[in-house]
Amino acid sequence: MATTPSRDVAARLGEAFADYAPSAEGRDIVTIRPEYGLVIGGAERPAADGATITTIDPSTGDALARVAEAGAADVDAAVAAARRAYDGAWGAASPRDRAKLLFRLARLLQDRAREFAVLETLDGGKPIREARDVDVPLAAQHLFYHAGWADKLEYAVPGMRARALGVVGQIIPWNFPLLMAAWKLAPALACGNTVVLKPAETSPLTALLLAELVDEAGFPPGVVNVVTGAGATGAALVDHPGVAKIAFTGSTAVGKGIRRALAGRGVRLTLELGGKGAHIVFDDAAIDQAIEGIVDGIFFNQGHVCCAGSRLLVQETVAGDVMERLRARMELLRVGDPLDKNTDVGAINSHSQLVRIREFVDGAVEEGCAVHQPSRGVPDAGFFYPPTLVTDVGGSERIAREEVFGPVLTVQSFRTEREAVDRANSTRYGLSAGVWTEKGARILWMADNLHAGVVWANTFNRFDAASPFGGVRESGFGREGGRHGLEAYLDLTPVRA
Ligand code: NAI
Ligand code: MG
């Protein structure tokens, strides 16, 4: 098994990281150990029963590392370590100390940004440009933002006394492994909780590297524990009586199961689940910009994005023009080696996700839809799927209703604003929507009428740590980010005058 794929990585990166030669400061671009243990109480250890899972580079299929697979006994040990830290050093730390440690963690992450970007791309398949320009800086931004709140919580929710909850269990998906880790850890720690984090089984490496930085920053042992594993590990965390809260990001099906499992137990829960975002283009929109927004909305991160704009709704009068330009733009998209800085669409995260995407598109053809893909093919090795347009869509097809989580865009047209809103809202999800129009009043009316946690206007996929993010309907509940995101990690009681 490969230990340090640096030489190969350096060649694939080319000039993207020219100033980051493997020999600089004596460190390789990225060092991947053959084996990783669980992080419990500040120490690394194998699973009690010795179980492991192998994480691969989805762009080649090559194994990267073996990672411990935590069972119920390990989860129990992690929760106990988190509890000890909560009752001990972390509970005793002042809000200002928590802020200082979070600031330090954010800076350490920035210092090693390139290493994180390369590791994220290797383990998950996303284009290096996105890992470098979006995932890592945004992860650092979440840590900085929440560091600022740690000693100002009394102002976050005026009139309420805010206390930490205790040990929180956090289960994250594979589409933004580092970002979701930072996104979840930052508010939990700022509010004074301790954490047991469960990364996704196909992309655990950046969360494990982040745990090393947590230690380096000086957080007391046990404040952040990482239990790697698959669904059973996550389920053991949900079932553990010692957790005060579960925060989950992932599929709606698993989210529903978690809610059932927690029913009646008094455990706090936030769910950030799937989506089927409508991307609505009116005939007065700046079409060239809208095309870029549409492309970013669905092909960013191979469409593995909960808030992806996966349903394009175009006003009838410009539908022909938009489709023509979109097809031409899609011809220019480069699908290939995620480590190549010119790659636009990287590898599909796992074989099972690739199979799922294929099934969706094959099913759409069987249901009478037309499929368009660019003339360039995709690499043979690894898991790749081309950018795909699905037209002749009625709305009742499976591809029009369910989250594909791949680079696949359905297209429908509409005549009036009302029709656009009705189409956009005819889904069980409610995470995101996008509107392209020059009319301000129309933007406001659409935002009022669209059932979605976030509505972007003349932009898409724009994220900021200060802005609350989350869904309605089957996209989940609770907000992450901003002041609202803090409330999910606080026990609030009114202050008596
Ligand atoms: P998933 O929901 O199974 O995985 C997300 C996380 O939950 C992973 O860490 C996984 O190990 C964990 N998990 C799985 N079963 C669990 C259980 N019973 N209890 C606790 N934790 C559990 O998603 P999966 O199977 O990887 O992807 C399938 C589909 O789910 C995708 O095609 C996509 O449509 C959707 N999905 C949506 C995400 C989003 O952010 N909206 C993220 C990941 C998947
Ligand atoms: Mg992997």
CA of 173 to the centre of ligand 1 (A): 6
Looking at residues 204-209, what average pLDDT do you find?
98
14-39 confidence digits (pLDDT tens): 665 555 444 444 446 889 999 999 99
Which of 170, 176, 251 to mutate to test ligand 1, by most ligand atoms within 8 A of the CB atom? 251
- Check the CA dihedral 115-119-122-125 and report its sign: negative
Helix (H) or strand (E) holding 397: none
What pLDDT was estimated at residue 6? 53
Q: Which ligand is located closest to the Cα atom of residue 383?
A: 2
What are the tens digits of pLDDT across the range 367-403? 999 999 999 999 999 999 999 999 999 999 999 999 9
Residues in the chain: 497
Tell me the HSE value of 313 on the side-chain side, using a 13 A CA sphere: 27
Counts for the chain of helices (H) and strands (E), in that order: 19, 20
Asked whether 27 lines ligand 1 (CB < 6 A), one says no
Above 90 in pLDDT, residue 452?
yes
What stretch of H or E contains 455?
strand 454-457
Residue 173 beta carbon below 6 angstroms from any ligand 1 atom: yes
Distance CA 100, CA 151 (A): 10
In order of their start, the domains of the chain are: 32-273+476-494 (3.40.605.10), 278-465 (3.40.309.10)
Nearest ligand 1 atom to the CA of 402 is 34
Q: Are 314 and 305 in contact (CB under 8 A)?
A: no
Tell me what pLDDT residue 234 has: 98
Indicate if ligand 1 lies below 6 Å from the C-beta of 474: no
Ligand nearest to the backbone CA of 199: 1
Whether the Cβ atoms of residue 64 and residue 45 lie closer than 8 Å to each other: no
Q: What is the pLDDT of residue 194?
A: 99
Distance CA 9, CA 487 (A): 42
Q: What is the pLDDT of residue 19?
A: 52
Nearest CA to 153 among 105, 194, 94? 94
- Whether the CB of 257 sits within 6 Å of ligand 1: yes
Q: Is 230 near ligand 1, meaning CB less than 6 Å away? A: yes
Angle between the N-to-C axes of helices 113-124 and 177-190, in degrees from 0 to 180, rounded to the nearest 10: 120
Q: How far is the CA of 338 from the centre of ligand 2 (A)?
A: 13
Supply the pTM of this predicted model: 0.96
Strand duo 52-56 + 63-68: pairing: antiparallel
| CA-derived radius of gyration, the chain | 22
